Amino acid sequence: MKQVKAHIAVSLDGHTATLDNELDWLPDEVKRTVGKHCLEADCLLMGANTYTYIFEHWGGWPYKSQRSFVVSHHDTNLTPDCGVEFLTEEPLRKVYELKQTHDILVVGGGKLLTSLVKAGLLDCLTIYTIPVMVGKGIGFIGETFGSKWKLSGSKIIYGNIISAEYELLY
């Protein structure tokens, strides 16, 4: 079976974005690093809010070479010609099926990550801890059933950011 991985930048107070979806607290180097992983990925997976954020802030769809899947209850696909597909019917089952044949990179956000962790579908998680407190924001991960993870690697990047890789323990 292939793997589902996520690379997520988290503020020191545990947020992935401010309440108004701002990512201006994220250093450009980290944005570029995450973007590079996206461009190298086999398939991309994201929640509807992250899809909307990318579409609105990047002036279109930047990952045209990747198959991109958006999890939502509603198909609001604005970029069907760019390899973007909405998963609205039993989306987590579809992710499970996709995982049989494809490595998947989860772009975000926290709500989708929570669903994936609850379903036992996320195998690897890389967290970039940014030494900034954003105050009120969108949480990194919600309530799950509890799970154990192994720290499989860590390093300091760009001077003051901890990059830590975790693998789900079965």
Ligand X SMILES: NC(=O)c1ccc[n+]([C@@H]2O[C@H](COP(=O)([O-])OP(=O)(O)OC[C@H]3O[C@@H](n4cnc5c(N)ncnc54)[C@H](OP(=O)(O)O)[C@@H]3O)[C@@H](O)[C@H]2O)c1
Residues that bind ligand X (CB under 6 A): 8-9, 16-17, 21, 23, 46-50, 53, 71-74, 91-92, 107-112, 115, 138
Report angle CA 125, 109, 54 to the nearest 5 degrees.
120
Residue nearer to ligand X on the CB measure, 66 or 72 = 72
Region of 135 (left: φ > 0; alpha: ψ -120 to 50; beta: rest) is left
Q: For the residues of 110-159, what is the DSSP string, one character each?
A: HHHHHHHHHTT---EEEEEEES---SSEEES----S---EEEEEEEEETT
Task: Select 27 or 91, whichever has its Cβ closest to ligand X.
Answer: 91
Min CB(111)–ligand X separation in Å: 3
Query: Minimum distance between the CB of residue 42 and ligand X, rounded to whole angstroms?
Result: 18
Structure tokens given for 30: 């980290």
- Pick 84 or 138: Cβ nearer ligand X: 138
Shortest Cβ 23–ligand X spacing (Å): 5
